[in-house]
Amino acid sequence: MLSETVHLDGHIIDSGTLSKVLDLILLHGGDYEITSFQIGTTREAASHAEIVVRAGTEVVLQQILQELGQHGANPVAHDAEWTAAPADGVFPSEFYSTTNLESYVRHNGQWLPIEQIEMDCGVTLVERADGPHALTMPVHRIRKDDQVLVHETAVKVVVAPRKDPVSVFGFMSSEVSAERPKELSVAAVAEGMIVTRREGKKVLFVGGPAIIHTGAGKYLEALIAGGWIDVLFAGNALATHDIEAALLGTSLGVKLSTGVPMATGHNHHLRAINAIRAAGSIRAAVLDGVLTTGVMHACVTHGVDFVLAGSIRDDGPLPDVITNTVTAQDEMRARVPGVGLAIMVATTLHSVATGNLLPATVRIICVDNNTDTITKLMDRGTRQAFGLVTDCQFFLKELAARLEGRSAT
């Protein structure tokens, strides 16, 4: 029986971390003994545990230790090992794969923060004038001979932040259920936006085309005009149907003022795309006076930064759409620093894609009328998300009403 001692610090009881760590040891075929335990006796105080992990083989033991490291349970640290990347876009085979939790790597006896942390990336070491930096690095950006972190033993992960039951979103259960008072949840989101702004952080909005189809575009437009949104991530569809509504009064060919499908309305979205292609860009269409209202118009006139990421479902697409998906990710990634709150509405694709890029410290509200979208987001590692099962129409109308007259700065 081989063994190794790991340490675990922080709010390990109320975050459920200790319970999870012990489960993982058993689940992966090991056993444990808790050799020391100091419990944080009050709400604010941290706890400390020392756990002897045992396993039958060295391989199993190392795997368990690596797994525990992902939850903040670390053996005594050694300095990290770094290996040169064998080729452009390829990690060395033993590369360390990041989580979205705040992390540190041991280098020259000190803990370097891993910068702009994001899940499913590697870590490279860069020497700069101010000393060494450990950078989060997606695999497509690695270059031959970059120094890449290998193995997990020299990494320290900070325990997942708990979902504080007395915080602004505290009452929104992490369990996803449609049977909750909805107006209160929207009020909490409004409050969260105000708090985020007060903290000097950015609000990111991620949206799908159902916002336009259901007639809620005007509420999103009002939020943008009110200065509540710093960055918009969306796809060709949201922008296209918004512009279709602005130019032709329809969305998916359905007249928004009557709900009646219009004659030849099914090709309206293509006419809208063609009009913007003719103008050269959304911004050019606004400046030319072609586009005079709607969500995208509001982004341009209120200086809200947006990324329209392409998908194979797109017609056209609009000239502003970034058709290369890796480039689109990089553009989204570049806008993540400074984001304090992400609101994701009615889009599985863009929600999961954005969730992939956000550190665990960014608060996320995911709104969908289908619980599956929210489950999928969490299944893919974005566990900090709060789910709100409701119509995007209702959500945006309520949110806009609650923020009306409040100051966004």
Pairing mode, if any, of strands 202-207 and 254-255? unpaired
CB of 328 to a copy of itself, least distance (A): 5
CB of 204 to a copy of itself, least distance (A): 15
d(Cα 353, Cα 340) in Å, to the nearest integer? 17
- CB 121 within 8 Å of CB 165: no
CB of 24 to a copy of itself, least distance (A): 7
CB of 183 to a copy of itself, least distance (A): 6
**Count of residues binding a copy of itself (CB under 8 A)?**
124
Would you say 275 or 362 has its CB closer to a copy of itself? 275
CA torsion sign for 245, 248, 253, 256 is positive
326 near a copy of itself, judged by CB under 8 A: yes
Query: In Å, how far from its chain's centre is CA 119?
Result: 10
Tokens 């619980």, residue located: 371
Task: Encode 377-405: b = buried (16+ Cβ within 10 Å), e = exposed.
Answer: bbeeebbbbbbbbbbbbbbbbbbbebbee
Would you say 94 or 110 has its CB closer to a copy of itself? 94
CB of 314 to a copy of itself, least distance (A): 6
- CB 2 within 8 Å of CB 145: no
215 near a copy of itself, judged by CB under 8 A: yes
CB of 110 to a copy of itself, least distance (A): 25
Residues 123-182 that bind a copy of itself (CB under 8 A): 139-140, 152, 165-166, 170-172, 175-182
CB of 128 to a copy of itself, least distance (A): 26
CB of 379 to a copy of itself, least distance (A): 6
CB of 218 to a copy of itself, least distance (A): 10
CB of 300 to a copy of itself, least distance (A): 20
Residues 39-68 that bind a copy of itself (CB under 8 A): 39-43, 49, 60, 63-64, 66-67
Helix, strand, or coil (residue 105):
strand
CB of 246 to a copy of itself, least distance (A): 15
The DSSP secondary structure of 235-292, one letter per residue, reads EHHHHHHHHHHHHHSEETTEETTT-PBPTTGGGHHHHHHHHHHHHSSHHHHHHTTS--
Comparing CA positions, the residue from 38, 34, 4, 35 lying closest to residue 19 is 34
d(Cα 132, Cα 111) in Å, to the nearest integer? 11
From candidates 80, 150, 231, 256, binder to a copy of itself by CB under 8 A: 256
134's tokens: 């450990």
- CB 295 within 8 Å of CB 229: no
Instruction: Point out which residues pair with 68 in neighbouring strands.
Output: none
CA torsion angle 101 105 111 114 (round to 10): -50
Bond from prior residue into 317 cis (ω within 30 degrees of 0): yes
Would you say 302 or 313 has its CB closer to a copy of itself? 313
From candidates 123, 149, 252, 365, binder to a copy of itself by CB under 8 A: 252
Residues 263-282 that bind a copy of itself (CB under 8 A): 263-264, 266-267, 269-271, 273-275, 277-278
Would you say 77 or 90 has its CB closer to a copy of itself? 90
Would you say 145 or 379 has its CB closer to a copy of itself? 379
Site string for a copy of itself, 222-241 (x = CB under 8 A): --------------------
Backbone angles phi, psi at 330, to 5 degrees: -65, -35
325 near a copy of itself, judged by CB under 8 A: yes
116 near a copy of itself, judged by CB under 8 A: no
From candidates 3, 37, 57, 143, binder to a copy of itself by CB under 8 A: 37
196 near a copy of itself, judged by CB under 8 A: no
Which positions ≥6 away from 6 have C-beta within 8 Å? 50, 51, 53, 65, 68, 73, 74, 75
Would you say 269 or 297 has its CB closer to a copy of itself? 269
Site string for a copy of itself, 73-112 (x = CB under 8 A): -------------xx-xxx-x-x-x-x-------------
Residues 333-392 that bind a copy of itself (CB under 8 A): 348-350, 352-353, 356, 369-372, 375, 378-379, 381, 389-391
